[in-house]
Structure 1
Amino acid sequence: MSLKRYCPHKTQATIHPVEPFDAIADAGILCEVTRRSNVDEKSIIEVLTNRGIIQRLEIAKMYRAYHGHPLLSDLKSRISGNLWNVIAALMTPLPHYYAKEIHDAIVARATDEDVIIEILCTLSNYGVVTIAESYEELYGKTLENDLRDNTSGAFAKLSVALCQGKRNENHVIDHAQAKSDAQKLFEVGGKLWSAEDSHFNQIIITHSYPQLAQTFLEYENMSGDDIEVPIEKAFSGNIKRAILAIVKCVKSKIGFFSGRLHAAMQGIGTNDRTLIRIVVSRSEIDLGDIKSVFERRYGKSLESWIAGDTSGDYKKALLSIVSTYPDY
Structure 2
Amino acid sequence: MASSGDAGTVTPAPNFNAEADCEVLRKAMKGLGTDEKALINLLCYRSNAQRQELKIKYKSMFGRDLVDDIKGELSGHFEDVMLGIMMPIPDFAAYSVKKAVKGLGTDEETLIEVICTATNEELTAIKEAYKRLYKKSMEDAVRTDLSGDFKRMMVSLMTASREPEGPVDQAKAAAEAKALYDAGEGQMGTDESKFNQILCVRSYSHLRAVFADYARISKTDIVGAIKKEMSGDLEKAYLAVVRSVMDRPSFFADRLYRFMKGAGTDDDDLVRVVVARCEVDMVQIKEAFPKLYNNQGKSLASFIKGDTSGDYERSLLALIREK
TM-score with structure 1 length normalisation?
A: 0.93
The reply on whether 1:34 has 2:29 as its aligned counterpart is: yes
2:97 is matched with which residue?
A: 102
- Structure 2 unaligned segments of length 5 or more: list them: none
Aligned position for 1:274 = 269
Q: Hey, what does 1:56 align to over in structure 2?
A: 51
Structure 1 pair 192–251 and aligned structure 2 pair: CA distance change class (3 A): farther
Name which of 125, 128, 132 aligns with 2:127: 132
Match of 1:210 among 205, 208, 224: 205
Deviation at 1:193, TM superposition (A): 7.0
AA partner of residue 308 (structure 1): G
Q: 1:289 aligned to 2:270?
A: no
Amino acid paired to 1:79 = L
Q: Kindly provide the amino acid, as one letter, of the partner of residue 282 in structure 2.
A: L
Q: How do residues 124-273 of structure 1 correspond to structure 2 at under 5 angstroms?
A: 124-190=119-185, 194-197=190-193, 199-273=194-268
**Residue in structure 2 matched with residue 316 of structure 1 by the alignment:** 314
Which of 58, 65, 68 matches 1:70? 65
Structure 1 residues 242-296: Cα deviation after superposition (integer angstroms, max 9, x where no partner): 0011111111001100111001111111111111111111111110110011022
Distance, in Å, in 1 between the alignment partners of 2:63 and 2:192 is 56
SS of the aligned residue for 1:206 comes to coil
The one-letter code sitting in structure 2 at the alignment partner of 1:301 is S
Task: Give me the TM-score of the superposition, normalised by structure 2.
Answer: 0.94
Tell me, in whole angstroms, the C-alpha distance in 2 between the residues paired with 1:54 and 1:10.
Answer: 21
Tell me which residue corresponds to 1:43.
38
Q: List per-residue Cα deviations over 1:4-23 (Å, max 9, x = no partner).
A: xxxx6522211111111111
Preserved CA contact (<8 Å) 1:193 1:201:
no
- Calculate percent identity across the aligned residue pairs: 36
Q: Which runs of 4+ in 1 moved over 4 A?
A: none
Counterpart residue number, 1:83 = 78
Matched, 1:16 2:14: no
- Aligned: 1:93 with 2:88: yes
Is 1:305 equivalent to 2:320 in the alignment?
A: no
TM-fit CA distance, 1:109:
2.0
Three-state SS of the structure 1 residue aligned to 2:90 is helix
State the partner residue of 1:3. none
What letter matches 1:300 in structure 2? K
Q: 1:252–1:192: structure 2 CA closer, same or farther, 3 Å change rule?
A: farther
Letter in 2 for 1:14: T
